Amino acid sequence: MEFIIFDLEWNSVKKPDDGKFINEIIEIGAVLLNEQLQETDSFSALIRPSISEKLNSYVKSLTHIQEEQLKNQPDFLTVIQTFKRWANRKNCVFLSWSNTDLHVLAENYDCFLHQHKVDFIRQYADLQKYVSLFLKTENNNQVALGAAAEQLGVDTRQFALHRALDDSRLCAALLRQTYQKKRFKPYISNVLAGTFYERLLFKPYYITDPDSPLLDKKIFMPRCPQCGKKLQRTGKIRQNNALLQANYRCEKCDAAYRLRVKCKKTYDTIDIKRNLALRRPKAVVSEQPGDAVGS
């Protein structure tokens, strides 16, 4: 088995046709590692952007890539063909630091080649997820490449961070530092099969329609935190930005509450966050039971 670790630099731009944002790739870098994780080849190419020649100042300061450097470079379609020829190998696992890079590659494939599956990547592993096994991370936060290197005692001074080839090389150093065949294996996905890309490209969204069939009506039936009785709703369930909210009261405790619910749809779950808070006594006095109460 061989490994290709790739890294991309991109510029976020608005597409003229539909006004949606896309992360337009401006650089691809990659290293090829053999079974012993030694670097046997590398790939590095700058790309002349097709959508916008102007780079965001953030991108320029992060990567130190200037617009003038990209002017005479080949475009995405040309570079991706060259990369594909270089990277098209049997029994090779592709890796990147978080699956964002694969997501961006798929997004550019979709935009410029009108297909969202990156056809030459058959096996993929998220290196950030794997390396996290060896880090002391809080709350499963996604760790930046430089921070992970520091924790693992890898000296980053020899790498130009935020440039595609050097980031790939730094990733390779982290893989060498942590690689255990048995522990790594479960992180490899067969990406062309099943629903891998559907999951990768799914955009989570908030459900803001209280009548959505995706929602269990019970989430709007809270109990009184004091006496445990079911609260009575005193107004409509209304949308407030990403939230759904409604007012309630408990007759027994003579208390008024506001329930706020955030319902996030991901590919296969609906994450519900509920917050029930006591309303100020002033609001209780002015409120008539059964009326819709303004906020």
Nearest by Cα to 94 from 22, 191, 178, 15: 191
CB closer to Zn ion, 9 vs 287: 287
Name the closest residue to Zn ion (Cβ): 224
Query: Which residue in 121, 278, 89 sits closest to 197, CA to CA?
Result: 121
Residues 6+ apart with CB under 8 A from 13: 21, 22, 24, 49, 51, 52
The DSSP line for 212-225 is -TTS-GGGG--B-T
The minimum distance between CB 295 and Zn ion, in angstroms, equals 22
Q: 167 CB contacts (<8 Å, ≥6 apart)? A: 7, 29, 97, 145, 159, 161
Whose Cβ is closer to Zn ion: residue 122's or residue 249's?
249
Minimum distance between the CB of residue 223 and Zn ion, rounded to whole angstroms? 8
CB closer to Zn ion, 25 vs 255: 255
Which CB sits closer to Zn ion, 84 or 229? 229
* CB nearer Zn ion, residue 197 or residue 257: 257
Nearest-angstrom CA–CA distance, 55 and 49: 9
Nearest to 4 by CA among 25, 30, 28: 30
Nearest distance in Å: CB 225, Zn ion: 8
Tokens of 229: 């009785």
CB of 255 to Zn ion, least distance (A): 6
Residue placing its CB nearer to Zn ion in the complex, 118 or 293: 293
Shortest Cβ 231–Zn ion spacing (Å): 8
Binding stretches for Zn ion (CB under 5 A):
224, 226-227, 250, 252-253
Q: Are strands 2-14 and 92-96 parallel, antiparallel or unpaired?
A: parallel
Reduced to 3 states, what is the DSSP secondary structure of residue 237? coil
Question: Can you tell me the distance from the alpha carbon of 66 to that of 60, in angstroms, rounded to the nearest whole number?
Answer: 6
In the complex, least distance from residue 56 CB atom to Zn ion, rounded to whole angstroms: 53
Q: 130 or 248, CB closer to Zn ion?
A: 248
- Residue 108 amino acid letter: N
Outline where the chain has alpha helix (H): 57-63, 67-70, 76-87, 100-113, 127-132, 145-151, 164-178, 181-184, 196-201, 281-286
**Shortest distance, position 233 Cβ to Zn ion, whole Å:** 14
